[in-house]
């Protein structure tokens, strides 16, 4: 029997498209039907791209036990018959199949929730607009619908939330997104200017600028056959963990705000400011923009910057630990967060949850551990933080523990670090491997980020696909609030803090 | 007459100051500089200068609601004496009148919220109606305790007589004061029952009912809120003042400080309740005022025997 998959890893270079097996859809379907019952597998990306006379589907599957990445492709003959939906058996495929249906009209037979994903401007059915989103409906004298958004109070991105409630209790929540769609994926291939591409990557999700740019940089370096210097890898590692600390602290503060707990709120706001100002002292931008560049960096660490980072981070770590210890004993806080917004492990696995939300439900999804790259593969032996309850408190304590863990990582990485002059300036003109597929997996603070690129005969980017962890985890939020009081939706939302623009692209 | 005017002026000062004290306390505890003491008054002054915008789904009900809300609160406000002073208005049984004026103002706001047809406001109205219904027995029993001690049923007479009360009743009076402070927490939509600062429509109670009001209507609702705060805090302060020093110069500052500081501290040091736990919280206060009434009744009986 023919091999269904090409096996590679998150640390390997780009692969030739010709080396990726092209298989029959039914074979792949039958294999995945069995294979995905194993919890070690989860899908990182599954997308369609135009070829000369039709479409080609690429699948990137991760094996968390072995660290293998499985690549496969299909040229479907869907014009004559629909494809059997994998979502019907394994719900974690739902956003990918919905996207392919939306963009190319591939009919997935038996898909239980075939609805527009993000109203991409190049969607197939232009008649389908946000105003006609087919919300799920329930009938009943006692039920009422509450629509929140797409425009929200405060500084929240746009997105529509439709609740069906029985009194105060939420029976169903449906989340309709797409308001932030900017066409990021097509902008990436419209230009050959790699600096411009880098800047686009930085703006995929403003709160994960470092993580997304790292994914872009890793991907291009693999296409260019460039192996990043150990020092550069170390500095990228520090940048990524700094971003994680800043965002986790910000979200701790946001959770405190939503339960009107002023003391934690102001404490966390102050600490977050120190952290992002440290990032600014390093690269000139509080959110780490301009920090990461392909094949080099414009902001190599210096002795004095290392001192600043170590001093600030150890200070933040100490003070945050006090907040953490107090929070674990504050009854009024525990009363709000414990046993609220439960996502059981089984559910989290079935919907393909990733990142810190999955780890809070006891599902180990951490690219740093299962598919390490760069500094994570060489030096850090990362032990992920996991919690078992899957409630708001678990998600909060995962964040709190990860802040302390990241602070220790940063301190260890910088303790004996003597910056050499080996780090180069970025190179935006390196030649790419032609007709290749390159992907990169990065564990941002929110979870697994996956970038995939296909190159053409001249080595130019022909297709660029981005996956933010929010794509998977929005459904986890919808599940978390089921049967909760509607007034607890905000704390559930904050406990995930998902990205709208990361989803909408 | 001069005394009555002094009384009203003091009440106004109390009404205007409480929010400022709350903000200062919160800022102090958060280690912040905080907004100016009179910022809330500047904000309302700004709103008073503006017109109002009305949604075209609303009816006349929505437009008159702020007037009814403010009017009822204002009339109730005029019945309250500051310790040994006399209120502007008074008649036998006015404690019931005041209680129902407050209920009327709440009803006006609930109807206005329902009138907008917004799902958020409907939810807020439902919550407000539930809490209002639950808190009313507490209010009635606390007032009944005062009436029982003095044998009168108007605020002016109650507190005029209060100076002659037996010191044995101290503990009961302190508990009455406590009940009134908590009632104020609930009525004014403060933590732990509600959160006046939140921007989250789904968690709001009082604020969400006011979402559609703007300009001058919003200012009227704010002012009515201050007046209601003053009513409850003055009653609480009077109950305490009876025990220690029954003079207006003691009771008025006490009213500002007791409620202002306690709200400021509570809002800094604890999270708000889960919405479903608010019912338990309010019923606890109802139980407490029932206890206060019972103890008061027993003490009165013992003294007479």
Chain-chain contact of A260 with B273 (C-beta, under 8 angstroms): no
A contact residues 359-398, partner B, Cβ 8 Å cutoff: none
Closest CA to A413 of A313, A282, A318: A313
B32 close contact with A: CB closer than 8 A: yes
How far, in Å, CA of A42 to CA of A79, rounded? Answer: 28
Digit-coded pLDDT (tens) for A36-47: 999 999 999 999
Domain spans of chain A, in order of start = 6-120, 184-503
- Which chain A residues are within 8 Å of B277, Cβ to Cβ? 335
Closest CA to A210 of A272, A265, A276, A267: A276
- Which chain B residues are within 8 Å of A263, Cβ to Cβ? 29-30, 268-269
The helix/strand count (H/E) of chain A reads as: 17, 14
Q: Cα separations (Å) of A42 from A23, A437, B199?
A: 19, 19, 38
How far, in Å, CA of B69 to CA of A337, rounded? Answer: 36
- DSSP class of residue A296 equals B
Closest CA to A29 of A103, A82, A95, A98: A82
Angle at A312 between CA A309 and CA A315, to 5 degrees: 145
Query: Residue A80: what pLDDT?
Result: 66
The CATH code that applies to domain A6-120 is 3.30.460.80
SS3 sequence of A417-476: CCCCCCCCCCCCCCCCCCCEEEEEEEECCCCEEEEEEEECCCCCEEEEEEECCHHHHHHH
What is the band of A1 on the pLDDT scale with cuts at 50, 70, 90? low
Q: Which of A147, A266, A333 sits opposite B32 (nearest CB)?
A: A266
The CATH code that applies to domain A184-503 is 1.10.645.10
A contact residues 121-160, partner B, Cβ 8 Å cutoff: 144-148, 153-154
CB neighbour list of residue A12: distance below 8 Å, 6 or more residues apart: A222
pLDDT at A170 over 50: yes
Chain-chain contact of A485 with B276 (C-beta, under 8 angstroms): yes
Chain-chain contact of B201 with A153 (C-beta, under 8 angstroms): yes
Complex ipTM, two decimals? 0.87
How far, in Å, CA of B18 to CA of A314, rounded? Answer: 41
Angle at B262 between CA B258 and CA B266, to 5 degrees: 175
Element (H, E) at A16: strand A15-16
How far, in Å, CA of A295 to CA of A222, rounded? Answer: 10
Q: Which of A167, A260, A486 sits opposite B202 (nearest CB)?
A: A486
Closest CA to A219 of A466, A28, A392, A475: A466
Task: Give the chain A residue whose CA is nearest to the CA of B192.
Answer: A260
Chain-chain contact of A332 with B192 (C-beta, under 8 angstroms): yes
Query: Residue B153: what pLDDT?
Result: 86
Query: Could you identify the residue written with the tokens 């439900």?
Result: A361
Closest CA to A176 of A144, A132, A206, A145: A132
Element (H, E) at A414: helix A392-415
Chain-chain contact of B30 with A263 (C-beta, under 8 angstroms): yes
Determine what percent of chain A is predicted with pLDDT higher than 70.
99
Determine phi and psi for B41, rounding to 5 degrees.
-75, -40
Digit-coded pLDDT (tens) for A182-226: 999 999 999 989 999 999 999 999 899 999 999 999 999 999 988
Question: In a mutagenesis test of the B interface, which of A145, A148, A259 is the best target, namely the one with the most B β-carbons within 10 Å?
Answer: A259
Element (H, E) at A462: strand A461-467
- Which chain B residues are within 8 Å of A261, Cβ to Cβ? 270-272
Omega prior to B192 cis, within 30 of 0? yes
How far, in Å, CA of A239 to CA of A202, rounded? Answer: 13
Q: Which of A147, A263, A486 sits opposite B268 (nearest CB)?
A: A263
How far, in Å, CA of A101 to CA of A464, rounded? Answer: 18
A164 close contact with B: CB closer than 8 A: no
- Which chain A residues are within 8 Å of B29, Cβ to Cβ? 262-263
Task: Give the chain A residue whose CA is nearest to the CA of B26.
Answer: A262
Answer for the pair A50, A75: CB distance below 8 angstroms, yes or no: no
Rounded to whole angstroms, the maximal C-alpha distance in chain B is 66
- Which chain B residues are within 8 Å of A147, Cβ to Cβ? 119
Helix (H, G, I), strand (E, B) or coil at A150: coil
Chain-chain contact of A260 with B198 (C-beta, under 8 angstroms): yes
Chain-chain contact of B200 with A490 (C-beta, under 8 angstroms): yes
Answer for the pair A55, A104: CB distance below 8 angstroms, yes or no: yes
- Which chain B residues are within 8 Å of A338, Cβ to Cβ? none
pLDDT at A131 over 90: no
- Which chain B residues are within 8 Å of A164, Cβ to Cβ? none
How far, in Å, CA of A462 to CA of A23, rounded? Answer: 22
How far, in Å, CA of A254 to CA of A242, rounded? Answer: 18
Determine phi and psi for B43, rounding to 5 degrees.
-60, -45
Question: In a mutagenesis test of the B interface, which of A335, A487, A489, A495 is the best target, namely the one with the most B β-carbons within 10 Å?
Answer: A487
Query: Residue A238: what pLDDT?
Result: 93
Residue A344 or B165, more confident: A344
Task: Give the chain A residue whose CA is nearest to the CA of B276.
Answer: A485
How far, in Å, CA of B13 to CA of A505, rounded? Answer: 55
Answer for the pair A42, A62: CB distance below 8 angstroms, yes or no: yes
Chain-chain contact of B122 with A144 (C-beta, under 8 angstroms): yes
- Mean pLDDT over all residues of chain A? 91
* Neighbour count for residue B72 (Cβ, 10 Å): 23
How far, in Å, CA of A397 to CA of A394, rounded? Answer: 5
Determine phi and psi for B185, rounding to 5 degrees.
-55, -45
- Which chain A residues are within 8 Å of B199, Cβ to Cβ? 153-154
Q: Cα separations (Å) of A11 from A15, A208, A369?
A: 12, 21, 13
Q: Which of A145, A333, A490 sits opposite B271 (nearest CB)?
A: A333
How far, in Å, CA of B189 to CA of B106, rounded? Answer: 12
Answer for the pair A303, A440: CB distance below 8 angstroms, yes or no: no
Digit-coded pLDDT (tens) for A268-289: 999 999 999 999 999 999 999 9
Beta strands (DSSP E) in A158-300 are 160-166, 169-176
Query: Residue B303: what pLDDT?
Result: 57
Angle at A191 between CA A188 and CA A196, to 5 degrees: 75
Looking at chain B, how many residues does it have? 305
- Mean pLDDT over all residues of chain B? 90
Burial class (CB in 10 A: 0-12, 13-18, 19+), B298: exposed
A433: which 2 tokens?
């491997």
For A213-225, the DSSP string reads HHHHHHHHHHHHT
Task: Give the chain B residue whose CA is nearest to the CA of A146.
Answer: B119
SS3 sequence of B182-225: HHHHHHCCCCCCCCCCCCCHHHCCHHHHCCCCCHHHHHHHHHHH
How far, in Å, CA of B245 to CA of B252, rounded? Answer: 12
Determine phi and psi for B108, rounding to 5 degrees.
-60, -45
* Neighbour count for residue A226 (Cβ, 10 Å): 17
- Which chain B residues are within 8 Å of A258, Cβ to Cβ? 198, 200, 203
How far, in Å, CA of A358 to CA of A477, rounded? Answer: 11
How far, in Å, CA of A256 to CA of A43, rounded? Answer: 34
CB neighbour list of residue A213: distance below 8 Å, 6 or more residues apart: A198, A201, A202, A288, A289, A291, A292, A293
- Which chain B residues are within 8 Å of A150, Cβ to Cβ? none
Question: In a mutagenesis test of the B interface, which of A146, A155, A260 is the best target, namely the one with the most B β-carbons within 10 Å?
Answer: A260
Query: Residue B195: what pLDDT?
Result: 87
> What are the residue ranges in chain B where pLDDT is below 50?
305
Between helix A230-258 and helix A392-415 the angle, nearest 10°, is 150
Residue B162 or A256, more confident: A256
Burial class (CB in 10 A: 0-12, 13-18, 19+), A80: exposed
Digit-coded pLDDT (tens) for A350-398: 999 999 999 999 999 999 999 998 899 888 889 999 999 999 999 999 9
Digit-coded pLDDT (tens) for A281-317: 999 999 999 999 999 899 988 889 999 999 999 999 9
Digit-coded pLDDT (tens) for A87-126: 999 999 999 999 999 999 888 888 898 899 999 998 888 8
The arithmetic mean of pLDDT across residues A325-338, rounded, is 91
Angle at B62 between CA B58 and CA B64, to 5 degrees: 140
Query: Residue B305: what pLDDT?
Result: 46
Domain spans of chain B, in order of start = 2-300
Q: Which of B31, B202, B268 sits opposite A148 (nearest CB)?
A: B202
Chain-chain contact of A153 with B200 (C-beta, under 8 angstroms): yes
Chain-chain contact of B195 with A260 (C-beta, under 8 angstroms): yes
């Amino acid at each position: 029997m023919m091999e269904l998959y090409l096996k590679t890893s998150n640390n390997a270079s780009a692969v030739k498209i010709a080396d990726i097996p092209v298989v029959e859809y039914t074979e792949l379907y039958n294999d995945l039907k069995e294979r995905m019952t194993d919890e070690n597998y989860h899908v990182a990306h599954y997308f369609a791209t135009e070829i000369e006379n039709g479409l080609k589907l690429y699948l990137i599957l991760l094996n968390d036990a072995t660290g293998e990445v499985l690549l496969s492709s299909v040229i479907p003959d869907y014009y004559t018959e629909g494809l059997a939906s994998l979502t019907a058996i394994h719900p974690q495929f739902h956003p990918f199949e919905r996207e392919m249906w939306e963009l190319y009209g591939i009919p997935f037979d038996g898909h239980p929730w075939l609805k527009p994903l993000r109203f991409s401007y190049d969607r197939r059915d232009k008649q389908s607009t946000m105003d006609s989103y087919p919300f799920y409906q329930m009938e009943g004298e006692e039920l009422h619908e509450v629509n929140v958004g797409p425009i929200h109070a405060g500084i929240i991105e746009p997105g529509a939330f439709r609740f069906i409630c029985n009194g105060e209790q939420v029976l169903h929540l449906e989340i309709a997104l797409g308001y932030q769609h900017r066409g990021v994926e097509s902008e990436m291939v419209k230009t050959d200017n790699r600096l411009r591409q880098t800047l686009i990557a930085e703006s995929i999700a403003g709160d994960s600028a470092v993580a997304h740019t790292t994914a872009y940089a890793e991907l291009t370096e693999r296409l260019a056959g460039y192996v990043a210097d150990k020092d550069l890898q170390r500095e990228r590692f520090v940048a990524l963990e700094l971003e994680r600390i800043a965002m986790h602290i910000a979200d701790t503060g946001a959770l405190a705000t939503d339960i009107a707990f002023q003391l934690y709120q102001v404490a966390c706001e102050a600490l977050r400011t120190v952290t992002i100002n440290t990032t600014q002292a390093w690269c000139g931008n509080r959110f780490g923009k301009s920090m990461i560049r392909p094949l080099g960096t414009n902001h190599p660490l210096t002795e004095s910057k290392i001192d600043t980072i170590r001093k600030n981070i150890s200070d933040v770590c100490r003070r945050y630990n006090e907040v953490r210890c107090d929070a674990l004993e504050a009854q009024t806080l525990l009363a709000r967060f414990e046993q609220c917004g439960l996502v059981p492990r089984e559910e989290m696995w079935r919907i393909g949850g990733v990142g810190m939300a999955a780890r809070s439900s006891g599902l180990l999804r951490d690219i740093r551990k299962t598919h390490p790259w760069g500094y994570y593969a060489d030096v850090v032996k990362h032990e992920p933080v996991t919690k078992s309850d899957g409630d708001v408190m678990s998600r909060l304590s995962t964040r709190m523990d990860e802040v302390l863990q990241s602070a220790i990582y940063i301190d260890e990485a910088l303790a004996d670090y003597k910056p050499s002059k080996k780090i180069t300036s970025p190179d935006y003109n390196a030649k790419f491997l032609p007709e290749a597929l390159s992907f990169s997996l990065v564990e941002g603070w929110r979870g697994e980020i996956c970038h995939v690129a296909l190159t053409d005969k001249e080595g130019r980017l022909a297709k660029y696909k981005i996956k933010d962890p929010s794509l998977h985890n929005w459904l986890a939020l919808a599940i978390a609030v089921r049967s909760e009081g509607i007034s607890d939706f905000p704390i559930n939302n904050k406990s995930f803090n998902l990205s709208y623009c990361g989803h909408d692209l | 007459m001069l005394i009555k005017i002094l009384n009203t002026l003091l009440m106004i000062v109390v009404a205007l100051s409480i929010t400022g004290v709350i903000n200062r306390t919160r800022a102090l505890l958060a280690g912040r500089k905080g907004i100016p003491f009179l910022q809330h008054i500047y904000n309302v002054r700004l709103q008073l200068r503006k017109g109002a915008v009305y949604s075209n789904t609303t009816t006349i009900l929505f437009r008159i609601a702020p007037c009814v809300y403010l009017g009822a609160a204002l009339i109730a406000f005029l019945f309250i004496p500051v310790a040994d002073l006399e209120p502007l208005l008074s008649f036998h049984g006015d404690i019931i009148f005041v209680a129902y004026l407050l209920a009327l103002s709440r009803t006006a706001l609930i109807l206005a919220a329902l009138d907008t047809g917004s799902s958020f406001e409907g939810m807020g109205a439902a919550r407000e109606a539930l809490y209002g219904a639950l808190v009313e027995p507490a209010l009635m029993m606390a007032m009944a305790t005062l009436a029982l001690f003095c044998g009168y049923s108007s605020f002016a007479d109650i507190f005029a007589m209060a100076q002659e009360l037996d010191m044995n009743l101290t503990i009961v009076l302190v508990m009455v004061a406590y009940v009134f402070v908590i009632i104020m927490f609930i009525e004014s939509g403060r933590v732990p029952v509600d959160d006046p600062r939140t921007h989250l429509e789904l968690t709001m109670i009082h604020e969400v009912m006011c979402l559609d009001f703007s300009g001058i209507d919003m200012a009227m609702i704010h002012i009515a809120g201050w007046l209601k705060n003053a009513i409850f805090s003055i009653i609480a302060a009077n109950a305490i003042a009876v025990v220690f020093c029954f003079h207006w110069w003691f009771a008025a500052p006490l009213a500002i400080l007791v409620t202002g500081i306690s709200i400021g501290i509570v809002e800094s040091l604890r999270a708000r309740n889960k919405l479903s736990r608010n019912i338990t919280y309010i019923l606890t206060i109802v139980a407490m005022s029932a206890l206060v009434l019972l103890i008061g009744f027993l003490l009165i009986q013992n003294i007479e025997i």
